[in-house]
Every structure is written in structure tokens, then in C-alpha cells.
């Protein structure tokens, strides 16, 4: 992943249940271990709203056996609907790669949010 794009991911705001989360910062996560996943804008390239909605429905179908809640990420004009999914981080990585995502946010109890980069460097 390009350094500029990684900086954007790290600076993004992530919202879950009205709480604001930022990579590597307090507040520490108090919930069960989880991963923030999306199917929007694969490889960080903007796609039309209808396409993103269809891909999100496909992600929801893939999550049918996992508890999840709606979340949001981004800032300014680049906002994405996310899913906070109660699952092992490795399983989340598999799904994120399937939906061509560059990174995921991993939440572990009593730890700050962790950004895990999945994309290879250019």
C-alpha cells in the first residue's frame, strides 16, 4: 500500500454504536473481539452507490453466521458503511481479501483499535 493511502486509513474516523474510534488511540475497546469489514470501494477506488450497495448485500450474506452491527468509516466526502463483526481477525482477513479491501480495523478487548494492512506494497 502506498504510504499516502496508509496515512488516510490511519487518520480516518471509525464509528460504532455512536462511539468514535481512531487507530492506535483511546478509548480502548471494551466489547468482544471484532473486525470492521466493508465491501465498499474495493482497492480504495470509488465505485457507484448502487454497486457498493450490491457488494454490501453480498458481504451481509457471507456474514449470516456471525453477529454484526452497522458501523461507519471515513471522513469528509469519503464515508463507507462498515460491519462490526464478532469474529476472529484471521477470518476477517479472509473476507476482506475476498471483497478486495486494502485494510481492516481489528478490535481486541482493552486495546486500542489496530489497523491491519492487507494490500501489498506497490
The domain segmentation of the chain, as residue ranges, is 3-117
Q: How far apart are CA 41 and CA 82, in angstroms?
A: 11
Q: How far apart are CA 11 and CA 26, in angstroms?
A: 14
pLDDT of residue 2: 74
Q: Output the pTM of the full model.
A: 0.87
pLDDT of residue 121: 54
Q: Is 110 exposed, middle or buried (0-12, 13-18, 19+ CB in 10 A)?
A: exposed
Secondary structure of residue 35 in the 3-state scheme: strand
Distances (CA, A) of 30 to 5, 41, 83, 113: 28, 29, 17, 11
pLDDT tens for each residue of the chain, 122 residues long: 677 767 777 778 899 988 899 888 887 888 899 999 999 999 989 899 999 999 999 999 999 999 999 999 987 677 899 999 999 999 999 999 999 999 999 999 999 999 999 977 55
Amino acid at each position: 500500500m502506498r504510504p499516502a493511502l496508509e496515512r488516510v486509513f490511519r487518520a480516518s474516523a471509525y464509528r460504532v454504536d455512536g462511539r468514535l474510534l481512531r487507530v492506535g488511540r483511546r478509548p480502548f475497546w471494551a466489547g468482544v473481539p471484532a473486525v470492521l469489514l466493508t465491501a465498499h470501494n474495493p482497492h480504495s477506488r470509488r465505485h457507484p452507490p448502487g454497486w457498493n450497495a450490491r457488494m454490501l448485500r453480498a458481504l451481509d450474506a457471507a456474514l449470516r453466521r456471525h453477529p454484526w452491527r452497522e458501523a461507519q468509516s471515513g471522513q469528509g466526502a469519503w464515508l463507507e458503511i462498515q460491519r462490526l463483526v464478532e469474529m476472529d481477525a484471521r477470518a476477517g482477513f479472509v473476507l476482506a481479501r475476498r471483497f478486495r479491501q486494502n485494510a481492516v480495523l481489528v478490535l481486541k478487548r482493552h486495546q486500542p483499535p489496530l489497523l491491519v494492512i492487507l494490500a501489498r506494497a506497490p
